Amino acid sequence: MKILVPVKRVVDYNVKVRVRPDQSDVDLANVKMSMNPFDEIAVEEAVRLKEAGIASEVIVFSAGVAQCQETLRTAMAIGADRGILVQCDGELQPLAVANLLKAVCAKEQPQIVLCGKQAIDDDANQTGQMLAGLMNWPQATFASKVVVSGQQASVTREIDGGLETVEIPLPAVITVDLRLNEPRYATLPNIMKAKKKPLETTNPQTLGVDVAARLKTLRVSEPAKRTAGVRVADAADLVNKLKNEAKVI
């Protein structure tokens, strides 16, 4: 069984994001980049399935600039067997990435595509669902537990107010949530081994995929600053301020 895991290079979650002065995009100059946290959880789950003898190979995929090789090497240090980089310098929107994944799936024939539920840069939460639609595969989203048995997968998914367990036939697309697992740290020996693992580089033209943007970003702006709170003397003062100043009651 092959498992394909898409990973995205994003601004590190510890970094405070800055907006460019012209509000055209986020400022990425001299900013630390790392693997999208949800994708890291997907890589960990795929490696655990391999260690359990369920999967025979874990392939990691990324699309973007040449520096995405570092993200793929990190995934291989966690335990993935090989990587595929679709190199392109322009903006990649979810539909373009889903189409690239479709082309890679047609070549590699994975039984499971294990994705992070969303990327922390655009928060689109679309690529996995779009891929399932393009491939006409079943999907299970927001997975907090995955059990694979034969050609079936039982997925416990997080929903409003509780958990839902669904069973889907393979091949399928599964998107993972935060509570699925805690990713391991890549050890130095595994980081060194990852440098020797195969990494294939291709491009959208070779795959026959149009990655032109369908959406245009008009403006990027920071959230409005929160005003300072005030102390109130008692409940009556609170009610008075809510009624006459905030006008919410």
The reply to whether 113 falls in a domain is: yes
The pLDDT of 35-42, averaged and rounded, is: 95
First to last CA, the chain: 59
Q: What is the pLDDT of residue 230?
A: 84
The reply to whether 249 falls in a domain is: no
The reply to whether 66 falls in a domain is: yes
Q: What is the pLDDT of residues 211-232, one digit of tens each?
A: 988 888 888 888 888 888 888 8
Tell me the three state secondary structure of residue 128.
helix
pLDDT interval class at 249 (50, 70, 90):
confident
Single pTM value for the model: 0.85
Tell me the three state secondary structure of residue 205.
helix
Contact between 197 and 83 (Cβ < 8 Å): yes
- In the beta sheet, which residues pair with residue 173? 113, 139
Q: How many domains does the chain have?
A: 1
Q: What is the pLDDT of residue 229?
A: 83
Q: What is the pLDDT of residue 89?
A: 85
The reply to whether 182 falls in a domain is: yes
Distance CA 157, CA 137 (A): 18
Q: What is the pLDDT of residue 182?
A: 93
| Two structure tokens written together for 43 | 């890589």
User: Mean pLDDT of all residues in the chain?
Assistant: 92
Contact between 35 and 75 (Cβ < 8 Å): yes
The reply to whether 122 falls in a domain is: yes
Q: Does residue 138 carry a pLDDT above 90?
A: yes
The reply to whether 80 falls in a domain is: yes
- Domain span at residue 57 reads 2-244
CATH code, domain carrying 37: 3.40.50.620
The pLDDT of 15-29, averaged and rounded, is: 84
pLDDT interval class at 17 (50, 70, 90):
confident
The reply to whether 161 falls in a domain is: yes
- In the beta sheet, which residues pair with residue 60? 5, 83
The pLDDT of 135-151, averaged and rounded, is: 94
| Two structure tokens written together for 226 | 């929160």
Q: What is the pLDDT of residue 152?
A: 94
